[in-house]
Amino acid sequence: MSHQLSFTDRRPAAAAGVVLALAVAGIGAPAHAADPGTPTIGLSASYLSGAVGATGDPVVTVTVAQSGADADALRVTASASSRPSVADTEDVTVTGTGTTRKLSVAARGRGYTDLTIKVTGLGGRTATKKLYYAASAAVRDSADTRYLTGSSDASAAVDVGDGYMVVADDESNTLRLYDRSASGGPVRSWDVGPDLGVSKEIDIEGAARVGDTIYWTGSLGNNKKGEYKADRNTVFTTEVTGSGAATRLTVGGSYGKLRDDLVAWDEAHGDRLGFAEGTKDGEVPKQIDGFNIEGLEFAPGSTTTAYLGFRAPLVPPSTGGRALIVPVTNFDRVAGHGAKAVMGDPIELDLGGLSIRDIRKNAAGQYLIVAGSWAADDNSDPYALYSWDGVAAHPPVLRAELPTTDPGGWEAVVEVPDLTDPNACVQLITDAGSADLYGDGTEAKDLDHAEWKKSRTVRFRVSG
């Protein structure tokens, strides 16, 4: 016998079928929290350099996010270190909230370690990034020391106001803008090579500022193999606009024959300084009778006559010889407009048998000279700081013996303070290109990552 449902009986059955279909489709089911997904983490730099006992080492910006999560709830930590003796996880400090945090590392020892940086989000989900960290050894005067990263071969510096400076590198043609009071990389940089039409290093060693013009000089010497390289025979100018962090540089004029002019001038005066011999093929620049310029500054009260300070030769070229300055009386026209150089009478200074590594003056006509050896062994020979009034007949005055126990040779004066102030301090910069910063036998200039390359800048009291 067949059974049929009445109309009234069919309605509950149909309703039940609809409910079942909706349930299968997930419609009308209880709501569940949205899947937060995997968090993300980014580092502003993958490579970081610090120093044992340093004050104000560079930091890394960490950026984190997770879909559906409040960024403040995300936790950033260091979860592993490949070499805890250099820096362990507890030596990593993360500050800040939200999507952007700041990460710093306090070094325990010299060397390298790979730090794993982890973000932990909702649901216990995580993501990681590697931070490749290098630590150099502790140094003297660590509280007054900062590190300029991105380059290890600082060779000249010029103050550009508001706590910033432009620093040259003798291994490249790049000028870099740094905060004078902070460790870290450059705010911006300028490769001047293309605008000057040079492809090899100029070996920039000296700089001087007059108004909005900065004058720069290469060493003008042979390379370390004793070979002449035309690009090293370059002087040039840059024009400054703005100041501080807003500083901009534009390449101005240049000249590529100053070395030739100096040799011809010396020959016309009886080869008294030995420039022709010092520039011969096969002659290396860093010897007592070599040819190598490392200082540049203008004469007292002048915007046209510049002093070229020589690392070599000494005069006479023997132990105890005097440091040499050659005035170029039309240097503004030489570097700015390519004019043939006109030289004045040479100046000889008693720097205790040392030569000139940098020379800088202030608006009051007070000069400071960084004195060092003509030789190439920067980390063992003595260094000293002398004051001078820029007058040829007046002797320089020893202000301080500079420490030589730490890596790097003293190379640049940023600016000269008022030397009559009993609390006057000067900021000096080292060239650390030949230094083994991290104990692996690699010279700093040959390190694979620019962030691990660095020069050291220190403030010293110079009163008295």
CB hemisphere CA count around 364 (13 angstroms): 11
- Rounded Cα–Cα distance for residues 411 and 355 (Å): 12
Spatial separation of the C-alpha atoms in residues 18 and 394, rounded to whole Å = 107
Residues near 108 by Cβ (< 8 Å), separated by ≥ 6?
Answer: 52, 84, 85, 86, 87, 88, 91, 135
Q: What is the pLDDT of residues 324-337, one digit of tens each?
A: 999 999 999 999 99
* pLDDT tens digits for range 259-308: 999 999 999 999 999 999 999 999 999 999 999 999 999 999 999 999 99
Q: What is the pLDDT of residues 22-40, one digit of tens each?
A: 333 444 444 445 678 999 9
Mean local confidence (pLDDT), 233-253: 98
| Stated length of the chain | 464
Q: Residue for token digits 């009559």?
A: 420
Please tell me if the domain spanning 40-136 has the same topology as the one spanning 142-461: no
* Architecture of the domain delimited by 142-461: 6 Propeller (2.120)
Which pLDDT value is given to residue 232? Answer: 98
Q: Is a pLDDT exceeding 90 seen at residue 457?
A: yes
Q: Of all residues in the chain, what percent carry a pLDDT higher than 70?
A: 92
DSSP letter string, 17-53: HHHHHHHHHTTTSPP-PPP----EEEES-SEEEEETT
* Residue 380 pLDDT: 77
Measure the CA dihedral 132/135/141/146, to 10°.
-20
Distance of CA 94 to the CA centre of its chain: 25
Judged against a pLDDT cut of 80, whether residue 386 lies above it is answered with: yes
**pLDDT in the model for residue 330:** 98
Residue pLDDT, tens place only, 338-354 = 999 999 999 999 999 99
User: Which residues, at least 6 apart from 17, have a Cβ–Cβ distance to it below 8 Å?
Assistant: none
Contact 136, 110 (CB under 8 A): yes
Give the pLDDT of residue 34. 65
Alpha-carbon radius of gyration of the chain: 31
What pLDDT score does 36 carry? 83
Question: What are the sequence ranges of the domains in the chain?
Answer: 40-136, 142-461
CATH topology assigned to domain 40-136:
Immunoglobulin-like (2.60.40)
pTM for this predicted structure: 0.91
pLDDT, average across residues 441-454: 97
